[in-house]
Amino acid sequence: MIQLISDKQNVCVVGDDDQSIYQWRGADVQNIITFSKRYQKVAIHQLDINRRSADGIVKTANLLIQKNNPNRLQKLIRDKGIESENGDLYKILFNNQKDEIEWIVGKVHSLIGTEIIEGDKSRKLKYSDIAFLFRSVGNEAKPYIDALKEAGIPVIYSGIGGLFATPEVNTIVKIFEFISNCDNDVEYNDLYINEIHSKLPAQFSIKYDSFKIGIISIQDFTQKQRRISLQGLYASVLSLLGLSDASFHDSDDDVLLYNLGRFSRAISDYEGSREFLTFNSIKDFIWFIRLHAENAYDSGNTDSMAGLVDAVQVLTMHGTKGLGFPVVFMPSHFRQNREPEFGPTLLNTTKFDSNRFLNYPEDERRIYYVALTRSKKYLFVTSAEYKIGGKRRSARSNFFNEIDDKYFITNDILDPTTRKLSEEDGVSEEISLPTSYSELAYYLSCGYDYKMRFIYGFNPGLVPALGFGKQVHNIINLLHKDFEVTKKIPSKSKIAQFIEEHFYLRYASTDLTERFKISALKSLLKYVKMWESDFSLAIKTERPFELEFENSLIAGSIDMIKREEGNEAVLEVIDFKTGKDNNELMHKYELQVQLYTIAAQEALGINTQKALIHFLDADKNSRLNVQTSPDALGTAKEELSFAIQGITKATFNRDARQDKICKSCDWCNLCPKRKGYRA
Ligand code: SF4
């Protein structure tokens, strides 16, 4: 590709050969090492300052990666001038893995609540600031995760496929199995219910009788439905288990909700790929879990949102690339280095260079380099001579020894530095928020709604009308494009033809879709009739933008109209909404259009003079002007800032703007504020 485009275009390539850790899936570090030799007129700009880590970490990482010389680009990474304090870095080889784990747990406890300084801000250190990095989570992490949990330290982990092994999710799956009578050779009777009830996680305190009656009535109700919603069934089960009790939501350990939220996503993955579900689909869903999902879903993940759940994160060294944490533990290292070999395969290895997929010492060293440099301040590298229960000395990765001791305390002495405590709340500065207006709008209507949706990951049930507005908007787009070619105002038959060809609602039945099509046709006929003059104007639909705003990146797309006023061309931001104009969501809509105006000006450099909301309704189309004076946009920015600061400081109060919002909230079965609101 570079050869195809580089004689006509400039190519900018960004990379770090020392962080090339994907050879096992075909990445070749030589691509970057030999880049300047392969092309003429290459200018190199070195980014040689590590802006994340304190000096002890940067120097340790440098000492390690220099062992890859001369097969790397010659460079020396500098730190940004923050000195490691005595006790920030420990590297200890314990005699026994049990001692190692005890020491680690003690270290986590001692650090929580101490002051951490990031830039010019100081705050208290939280669980979410701590990462445990393993070469293989599946093979190594279990005793550490068990000990952390036992010590009351919340943990989320990835790389172990552990979501369905968690007691809370396991319980839900068992209940689904009972409701659907999943397996022919199992008797789904009272004993079975008793068995599930006896193994309920401690947080679920429902009495046996209520549990049994509840499950059977959910089963009866679901069986009678022609079509079912799995997400709705899930919400009913959670509600029965008492998930709307404040104790679930106000405790410090929110891992349980996080895991239940991830199960909700697994349901959406299944439900979203089917046109509709019937009672029998519950069985199919169980088989989806057994055959696929059990190995594909982790109880944690590495997305930036995970940092907003206050839990220690356990990750693979690979999975941590691009992330940074104030505290990094690198325990275990019980992994013998082996000669690289290409395992048994059906592939004909003479037909390709299989060597480039192998893990050579230089590749392994790069993985360790990446892991070390995830830490900002504290770095604890530990291992032990004997594994728990082991009688013979355990083999260890060579790279544990390769990490130079120079900047570490190497024995189990108390932290020589007295750590100040802090009361200031906040989350890591690493969390920069990729977001959109619709996400921020959820926060603005209720902080807890945002948390349920985007932090825990719960999905609401699917509704047949989902996507109606988008479909109508698409057809407006097509009508304007058609006008550009034909210069004809779209006729009724043309609109009907476009609807027939392009209108599609994923979750609506055929009958319902036909009704939605009629409604769309009426709205669009009104639109064409009332705003015929707009067709001669240039309309730019769906112009994408990315707006950097405080510590967030807001992405979206804007529709704009270009209108001639006198000798001047005036650009107007327009946002199409399906529905009437006198609804309760007006403030939300206005704020959205104001954000689009800010984005047009600041991200796209377009000076728009007007902003409109266009309501597409079958009875009446109307347009409303939205205030875009500097004062109005200033107020809009304050609102957006409130949402972004709230999210990045993990402030998720149950503070619906209006009581009405709770009544129609997707979580009114699960949120303590509206407990019992719905049957
Ligand atoms: S029920 Fe009310 S308080 Fe609870 S999440 Fe919904 S809007 Fe917020």
d(CA 20, CA 2): 19
Q: Is 661 in the pocket of ligand 1 (CB under 6 A)?
A: yes
Backbone phi, psi, residue 207, to 5°: -75, 155
* Domain covering 81-160+302-340+360-407 in this structure, CATH number: 3.40.50.300
Q: What is the pLDDT of residue 307?
A: 65
- Give the model's confidence band at 344: pLDDT under 50 very low, under 70 low, under 90 confident, else very high: confident
Q: What is the pLDDT of residues 398-408, one digit of tens each?
A: 999 999 999 99
Q: Is 448 in the pocket of ligand 1 (CB under 6 A)?
A: yes
Which ligand 1 atom is nearest residue 451's CA? Answer: 5
- Residue 371 CA, chain-centre distance (Å), reads 21
Q: What is the pLDDT of residues 558-582, one digit of tens each?
A: 988 887 777 777 788 988 888 777 6
Query: By mean pLDDT, which of 103-112, 200-209, 302-311, 532-541 is the weakest?
Result: 302-311
Q: What is the pLDDT of residue 303?
A: 55
Q: What is the pLDDT of residues 1-20, one digit of tens each?
A: 777 776 666 788 899 999 99
What is the DSSP secondary structure assignment for residue 306, as one 8-state letter? G
Q: What is the pLDDT of residue 578?
A: 82
Which ligand 1 atom is nearest residue 655's CA? Answer: 3
Which ligand 1 atom is nearest residue 671's CA? Answer: 4
- Residue 629 CA, chain-centre distance (Å), reads 35
Most confident range (mean pLDDT) of 228-232, 349-353, 531-535, 615-619 is 228-232
Domain map of the chain by residue range?
2-51+71-78, 81-160+302-340+360-407, 163-296, 468-648
Cα of 466 from ligand 1 centre, angstroms: 21
| Percent share of the chain, pLDDT over 90 | 51
Which ligand 1 atom is nearest residue 445's CA? Answer: 7
d(CA 124, CA 457): 26
Indicate the SS3 state at residue 36: helix
Q: What is the pLDDT of residue 678?
A: 45
Cα of 670 from ligand 1 centre, angstroms: 9
Asked whether 231 and 460 are in contact (CB, 8 A), the reply is yes
Q: Given a cut of 90, is residue 538 above it in pLDDT?
A: no
* 673, 675, 678, best to mutate for ligand 1 pocket (most atoms within 8 Å of CB): 673
Q: Given a cut of 60, is residue 159 above it in pLDDT?
A: no
pLDDT (average), residues 361-380 = 96
Q: Scanning the structure block, which residue is given the tokens 């406890």?
A: 109
Please, what is the average pLDDT of the chain?
A: 88
Q: Given a cut of 50, is residue 196 above it in pLDDT?
A: yes
pLDDT (average), residues 436-442 = 93
Q: What is the pLDDT of residue 430?
A: 60
pLDDT (average), residues 42-56 = 93
Which ligand 1 atom is nearest residue 447's CA? Answer: 8
Cα of 209 from ligand 1 centre, angstroms: 30
In terms of pLDDT, which residue wins out, 516 or 139?
Answer: 516
Q: What is the pLDDT of residue 506?
A: 79
pLDDT (average), residues 427-452 = 85
d(CA 216, CA 582): 44
Positive/negative CA dihedral, 647, 653, 657, 661: positive
Q: What is the pLDDT of residue 571?
A: 85
Which ligand 1 atom is nearest residue 448's CA? Answer: 5
pLDDT (average), residues 28-56 = 91
Cα of 191 from ligand 1 centre, angstroms: 37
Q: What is the pLDDT of residue 499?
A: 95
Q: For atom 7 of ligand 1, which residue has the closest CA?
A: 662
Q: Identify the helix (H) or strand (E) that includes residue 134.
A: strand 130-134
Q: What is the pLDDT of residues 227-269, one digit of tens each?
A: 899 999 999 999 999 998 888 888 666 778 888 998 999 999 8
pLDDT (average), residues 370-385 = 97
Which ligand 1 atom is nearest residue 661's CA? Answer: 7
Asked whether 311 and 261 are in contact (CB, 8 A), the reply is no
Q: Is 670 in the pocket of ligand 1 (CB under 6 A)?
A: no
Q: What is the pLDDT of residues 638-660, one digit of tens each?
A: 999 999 988 877 788 998 877 67
d(CA 367, CA 557): 38
* Domain covering 468-648 in this structure, CATH number: 3.90.320.10
In terms of pLDDT, which residue wins out, 177 or 205?
Answer: 177
* 444, 451, 453, 665, best to mutate for ligand 1 pocket (most atoms within 8 Å of CB): 665
Indicate the SS3 state at residue 571: strand
Q: Scanning the structure block, which residue is given the tokens 């959406």?
A: 268
Indicate the SS3 state at residue 529: helix
Please tell me if the domain spanning 81-160+302-340+360-407 has the same topology as the one spanning 468-648.
no
Q: Identify the helix (H) or strand (E) that includes residue 315.
A: strand 312-316
Cα of 270 from ligand 1 centre, angstroms: 26
Q: Given a cut of 90, is residue 428 above it in pLDDT?
A: no
Q: Is 211 in the pocket of ligand 1 (CB under 6 A)?
A: no
pLDDT (average), residues 103-118 = 96
Backbone phi, psi, residue 81, to 5°: 100, 10
